[in-house]
Amino acid sequence: MVTINNDLLNQIDGLEISERIQQWKNAVKDSHWKLFCDRERWTLASWKETEGEDIQIRRAKMLRKILENIEIKIQDFDVIVGRLTPDVIGCATAFDISGDYIPDIWKDTAELNITMDASVGLDAESLEVLRESVRLFKGSTAPEMTYKAWASIVGSWVTDAEKARLKDPTLDTGIFAQSTSVLMWEKILKQGIRSVIDDAKKRIEDYAKEPETDGQKLIFWESVIMVCEAAIHHSHRYALLAREMAETEKNGNRKAELLEIARICEQVPENPARTFHEALQSMAIVGVCKNYENPMHNNPQWGRGDQYLYPYFIHDLNKGTITLEKAAELLMELVGRWGTQTFVSAESLKESHQINFAINNIMLGGVNREGLDSSNELSYLFLHIVGLLRLSSPTVGLRWNRNTPDWIMSKAIRTNLVTKGGIPLFENDEVVIPHFVEDGIPRDEAGEWCGLGCVYPCLPSRAEHYGSEGVAAVNLAAMLHLVFHNGIDVNGRLTGVPTGDPREFSSFDELYSALLTQHEYITHRVFELAAIARDEQGKHLRLPFLSAMGIEQCMELGQDLLIPHPDFTMMGISDRAIIDVTDSLMAVKKLVYDEKKLTMDELLNALDADFEGPRGEEIRQMCLAQPKYGNDIDEVDRLAGTLSADSYRIIRSYDNSPFRKYIIAREGLAWHYFGGLGVGALPNGRKAYEPLNDGALSPMRGRDKKGPTAVLRSAIKAGFKESFASVLNQKFSATMIQSKDSVEKLVAYTNAFMLNGGSHIQYNIVDTNELRDAKIHPEKHEDLIVRIGGFSAYFTQLSPDIQDDVINRNEHHM
């Protein structure tokens, strides 16, 4: 356990945003969404030059071409360099990854919609570059070739299921193994990427001495050398640019900064980082190279930044080679840059994510490999910086354990008060680590887990496939819709399996059994399709830089990440809408089977009419009045637990050989908006196509009537013990949580939930009246941040349905 310098914590509390960082913040605020075609230009050039070569080498040469030629820029306020585009906010396209995924490029207006509420203009020359790239790659990308393979086996079933929101994501989202996971930051910082090149060369030499039959290993190591050398060259380009700028710089201080940028970029990431500044610069270059290889969802992730960066931070402070103010400014620069990186998402992702800021994750605190709490002064600084920046991203998670100190819990709640939007969230080491151990992961390795994107726990030592191969979530509410319509989805397609007319079910058990039948049919088919995708994708895409920086075993095996190996592969899924289905099943049980106030025919007719017609609202009110999860009602809470256990049993019953079984983590995003678009009216009183319940363990909005602790008791009884994490959102009045006493109460409240087995909790600390005003007067609330499901976003950038969803959640008081 680290000995904490309390004086240093007090100094951190006194830090303010520097003039330089404020200059950057102003530039971000003044910058409009921008799309740059430069990556696509060099992608095109390389692909034409390498026609006929091995896919592994082609992808390596492509990245090298990009890194050697793409436009770079050092802004006046930059001390750390390395951006995806020359502007402070900008995004690149990835037609080589995802095919024709931006419909607007074919419109004559040249206005491209890149978020739910923002568009960008593009000049004619740039637009033609994008169109040419689509023409070149269309029909041959990994997602498109996988869909072709799927169609040859199951026809239109996949696209039908995706349109019905029974499963997600679509493949054009560009999510591949490890793309959204953390890199081997500790190794990169300690050894530099020249060590990876040396390792690859040594393996090639050894191969030559004792040749094997697998020549693909040689090709892989050659590709690694190529991309790592290109990353070093990219850093040296910044060094050269900085020296050129220094030659004409009149301001002495800025001239010195530019020369220091040059010196550091000549050192890292090629060589080991020796200082805190060098460590952050190394991460910036490696992170942007990762992003260039696949701009779709390939944003850098921090992982346990307070752990691997701590030795550099505390050494420099103690030695006096850096001031606390300077260290904070450097950290703020990289946190802010990664937190404002944008991307152009596929259409389906706009619904499930709502925003286009890349969701990266900083995981703080938690136990170390020896099982001791590892919270330190850098953990505290990260929290303080996030509070000062007040950005919607990154996602910040605090790993809780029973020895988590009060000083960091208090700082976390105070940070949440400043940011308002669930930053940070809390996840329970004492739930996550035992789950990994039960799954056969050594305890010391499990102790290094961190968050992927929003909430999902992953291991930096293993390639995480969550979200790839078309597997992120299945929609139990949409499955219940299938039950009510004998396998027919909201679009009138037979995507489920016929389970009979529910009007003829004689008992609640028959209804429940039909739901499990639909679940097994849909989920196992999704897994079967994923296995096909796993075999297919590597034929059409490789990611040599991600492979070299992401997983140690890739070098040992001599193979790209997109050729998965059972020894280092993890797969997971989120089984969503359990609470929506629980409340709905309870309503059917009470109204139709127990109390017989409605016939199944009357109920189904009301649902199909979306509660319109003569008795529509009457029946809806009857549905709303039934027992709801979140009110400490044993019957409904235990039903949620039963459904959770049965869902787990179905998922784990799938034989995923030779890989590990799928794990379950029930996270957030804005999935409840996306998932709701595939679900008609439900017996819980929800109308057709409205958002489902947010998160995984959150009550139906507005229906938790007995206060916040009743919600916690329901969550603990429901258990969801099968899941590594289950998102629970709560909203508290900001005006009621301001005093030191109220902060301490919320700390104690959080501790109590975790001590009783809660896996995850996060808080919107914002007044409902402020949210209502922000919807009417968005110009007055541009910086208002709210927690959606597993991530935070600017309230004014959200769709009206999600804004209403957050507004209508119950506002609790301590």
Residue with the two structure tokens 């009979």? 500
Identity of the amino acid at 59: R
CB 37 within 8 A of CB 263: no
Write down the pLDDT at residue 151.
Answer: 97
Helices (H), 192-304: 194-209, 216-248, 252-267, 276-293
- 8-state DSSP, 661: P
- Six-digit token pair at 450? 């961190």
CB 262 within 8 A of CB 235: no
The parts of the chain modelled with pLDDT lower than 70 are 1, 109-110, 114-118, 298, 350-356
Residue with the two structure tokens 């060369």? 201
Q: Secondary structure of 274-321 in the HEC alphabet?
A: CCHHHHHHHHHHHHHHHHHHCCCCCCCCCECHHHHCHHHHHHHHHHCC
**Measuring CA to CA, which residue among 652, 800, 796, 670 is closest to residue 727?**
670
- Six-digit token pair at 664? 């379950």
| 458-471 residue pLDDT tens | 999 999 999 999 99
CB 580 within 8 A of CB 477: yes
Distance (Å, whole) CA 405 – CA 142 = 47
Question: Residue 430: is it exposed, middle or buried by C-beta count within 10 angstroms (0-12/13-18/19+)?
Answer: middle
Write down the pLDDT at residue 1.
Answer: 61
DSSP structure string for 396-417: EEEEE-TT--HHHHHHHHHHHH
3-state secondary structure (DSSP) of residue 91: strand
CB 574 within 8 A of CB 666: yes
Distance (Å, whole) CA 366 – CA 356 = 29
- 8-state DSSP, 108: T
Distance (Å, whole) CA 28 – CA 572 = 36
Q: Kindly list the structural domains of the chain, giving each domain's residue range(s) and its CATH number in brackets, ordered by start.
A: 141-180+465-727 (3.20.70.20)
**Measuring CA to CA, which residue among 452, 506, 532 is closest to residue 171?**
532
Distances (CA, A) of 283 to 110, 183, 349: 35, 10, 27
| Dihedral of alpha carbons 225, 227, 230, 234, sign | negative
| pTM given for the model | 0.96
CB 795 within 8 A of CB 354: no
**Measuring CA to CA, which residue among 326, 390, 418 is closest to residue 20?**
326
Write down the pLDDT at residue 353.
Answer: 66
Write down the pLDDT at residue 812.
Answer: 84
| 209-255 residue pLDDT tens | 887 778 899 999 999 999 999 999 999 999 999 999 999 999 999 99
Buried b (16+ CB within 10 A) or exposed e, 157-166: bbbbbbbbbb
